[in-house]
Amino acid sequence: MDTRNLTQWLKSEALKQGFAFVGISKATALDEEARYLEKWLSEGRHGAMKYMENHFDKRIDPRKLVEGARSVISLMYNYYTDEKPSDPQAPKISTYAFGEDYHQVIKKKLWQLMADLKEKAGDFQGRCFVDSAPVMERDWAKRSGLGWMGKNTLLIHPKAGSFFFLAEIILDLEFEYDTAMKDYCGTCTRCIDACPTDAIAKEGYRLDAGKCISYFTIEYRGESIPEDFQGQFDQWMFGCDICQEVCPWNRFSTRHKEPAFEPHPELMGMRVSDWQELTEEVFAELFKKSPVKRTGFKGLQRNIRFLGLPSEKITNDQA
């Protein structure tokens, strides 16, 4: 199969696997992105995520991850839903974590896609990634024409918004390559204005992880969240969707079709009092296959305590 037909077949097959968009870039060093990353790290904007400093060479060159790599296939998988907790006062969880862990759900689809590709193209060397290795996924998706990097630093697709997981296949086959699209954020500053902790730079396009609600509620391992941020978390106990919720481009978001991303039957009915009285057993049942396991039971308890839900408010809710 020639390069053109192989490219068309791959994109068609990826859509059959449930991916919303597919783009392909030539595997090469990310020189410009490397300079930005180096500056971002040197300024300490990665907070306590020291692992971001590791494997710098692999982050900026996919050929360090797959020897002889020629192509980076970028894929987007929708996770958007407009479903909300029944109690509007309850602590909030980022939409991406409502259902099962996306790492496993999407990686299975990537493995199947790679197996099908080998039947078409013959044997090849390749690896698939779902936020699981030093791959600069948003930069590759941008290079592959799947969107632009918004002022909130998330990838935005002009017809579908930003509620997508990103995944990659790096391999030593050649394809027809896509080109990057222009930035359509324009003069909009809604994400910058809406961020309660000022984690997004005033000019946009740069995130200070050490101020980000998602960072503190997921990645941060301290016993307590710094008091400087008290009252600024807007009820988010795991992750944060504020900069996506206010983004005009997400008016084009459509509900996902992935059964694995449906929330646990009891999750959306949890009230304020249920969260404050959460036990380790209930946590294990609610989140046994969820990304929320990353923060752990004690971490989620810490986050809930930090929100400072007053006891009389809980009593009124119970009533």
Please name the amino acid found at residue 64: K
∠ at Cα 105 (180, 283), nearest 5°?
Answer: 120
From 171, 204, 224, the end of a domain falls on 171
Calculate mean pLDDT across residues 23-36. 96
Instruction: Supply the range of the domain harboring residue 209.
Output: 190-318
7 shares its domain with 131: yes
* Strand pairing report for 236-238 and 92-93: parallel
pLDDT of residue 197: 98
Q: Are 216 and 228 in contact (CB under 8 A)?
A: no
Per-residue confidence (pLDDT) for residue 319, from 0 to 100: 35
Residue 280, pLDDT > 70, answer: yes
Higher pLDDT, 315 or 279: 279
- Does residue 311 have a pLDDT over 60? no
In a domain, 106, yes or no: yes
Instruction: Give, in order, the Cα–Cα distances in Å from 124 to each of 23, 148, 172, 267.
Output: 19, 30, 6, 43
222 and 280 co-located in one domain: yes
Inside any domain, residue 136:
yes
- pLDDT of 78 above 70: yes
Q: Are strands 92-93 and 148-149 parallel, antiparallel or unpaired?
A: unpaired
Closest CA to 110 of 22, 180, 7, 5: 22
| Residue 245 sits in the same domain as residue 305 | yes
Total domains in the chain come to 2
Q: What angle do CA 306, 307, 309 make, to 5 degrees?
A: 120
Of the listed ranges 4-8, 50-54, 155-159, the one predicted with least confidence: 50-54
Average pLDDT for residues 55-82, to the nearest whole number? Answer: 96
Could you say which DSSP state residue 288 is in?
A: T
266-to-86, 113, 269 alpha-carbon distances in Å: 11, 34, 6
The pLDDT score that the predictor gives to residue 309 is 74
Residue 181 within any structural domain of the chain: no
Cβ 216 vs Cβ 239: under 8 Å? no
Residues annotated as catalytic are 131
Checking if the pLDDT of 139 tops 70, the result is yes
In this structure, the strands spanning 164-171 and 71-78 are antiparallel
227 and 302 in a single domain? The answer is: yes
Instruction: Indicate whether 313 pLDDT > 80.
Output: no
